[in-house]
Amino acid sequence: MSDWYEIDKPASAIELDDRGLQYGDGLFETIAIRRGEPRLWDLHYERLVRGCRRLGLMTPAVKVLRARLDAALANSDCDPMFSIAKIILTAGVTQRGYGRSMPADPRVFVGVFQASPVSRSSYVTGVATMLCSTRLAIGPATAGLKTLNRLEQVLARSECLPTGAFEGLTLDAEGRLVCGTMSNVFIVKDSRIRTPSLERCGVDGTMRRHLLALLDATELGCEIGSLSEDDLADADEVFLTNSQMGAIPVNRCGDLTWRVGPVTRQVLGLLADHGVLECRG
């Protein structure tokens, strides 16, 4: 079900003394593999570099990392046309205690997994979401990064599972809208697109970055700022982005409902024209 590799060799386990387990001292990336290629590779690598700088890890050279990913994909039984690769970096085994020398030389693991495409109808009619009661902590130390400290997402996502909601939206500790448990959120009001700032918490998704760059090059644009629950309630349209799915319309969140509107359809078309084929209408 999962194939893991460390330096091109199959791996299945990690030392109990590794700081990745002990403290979540590490980073990860989850990359969509499409037609044998890692989609948005540059953006994934760029986020990993930012994470390494923040956490005091040496950044693996892009060629080395890409070679390891390619080797894992070549060795894996998963469908190279449509699967998921996960890269995990940990700070490795060092002395006991929280502190370590910086920068540390990270261990790199690459896993390849089967992927399940989102149903075609979800892109057309949208998905149902819920508002999670788990709030995201506000603190800039690791905001935006995809670290191995993901307990808030575990708690929030686990709220969704029994409800059948496709995704859960999360607020920060002060009640601002931040993101979904596994996606970024955008709202549309009077044809203007807005998405929450991620300077204080949340994950800066690669599909969000890809879309923001595309929107900047059109007349649509996107405003990044502080969004409230009221902004969500007042929105004309709502959609999510995620590295595996591209963009997907939201048709409800609890009692709030939205139509799949023209701006969202334009966004899906834009992504479909720029490498995210799943969004093709």
Q: Which residues bind its own copies (CB under 8 A)?
A: 2, 4, 11-25, 28, 55-56, 88, 90-91, 96-102, 109, 111, 113, 134-142, 147-158, 160-161, 172-173, 181-182, 200-201
Q: How far is the CB of 67 from its own copies (least distance, A)?
A: 20
Closer Cβ to its own copies, 242 or 264, answer by number: 242
Q: How far is the CB of 167 from its own copies (least distance, A)?
A: 10
What distances in angstroms separate CA 39 from CA 33, 169, 232, one per listed residue? 6, 25, 30
Rounded to whole angstroms, how far apart are CA atoms 64 and 214? 29
Rounded to whole angstroms, how far apart are CA atoms 98 and 266? 48
Closer Cβ to its own copies, 172 or 237, answer by number: 172
Which one, of 6, 7, 19, lies nearest residue 92 by Cα?
Answer: 19
Q: How far is the CB of 86 from its own copies (least distance, A)?
A: 9
3-state secondary structure of 55: helix
Determine the longest span between alpha carbons in the chain, in angstroms: 56
Which one, of 139, 163, 174, 167, lies nearest residue 153 by Cα?
Answer: 167
Q: How far is the CB of 2 from its own copies (least distance, A)?
A: 6
Q: How far is the CB of 252 from its own copies (least distance, A)?
A: 19
Closer Cβ to its own copies, 67 or 151, answer by number: 151
CA 18 to chain centre: 24
Q: How far is the CB of 38 from its own copies (least distance, A)?
A: 18
Which tokens sit at 273? Answer: 């024209």
Rounded to whole angstroms, how far apart are CA atoms 99 and 256? 46
In total, the chain counts a number of residues equal to: 281
Cβ atoms of 66 and 33 within 8 Å: the answer is: no
Q: How far is the CB of 30 from its own copies (least distance, A)?
A: 10
Burial (CB < 10 A; 0-12, 13-18, 19+), residue 275, is middle
Closer Cβ to its own copies, 132 or 263, answer by number: 132
Closer Cβ to its own copies, 21 or 272, answer by number: 21
Q: How far is the CB of 212 from its own copies (least distance, A)?
A: 24
Name residues whose C-beta falls within 8 Å of residue 35's C-beta, 6 or more positions apart in sequence: 80, 81
Closer Cβ to its own copies, 56 or 269, answer by number: 56
Closer Cβ to its own copies, 6 or 236, answer by number: 6
Closer Cβ to its own copies, 12 or 121, answer by number: 12
Which one, of 171, 274, 144, lies nearest residue 230 by Cα?
Answer: 171
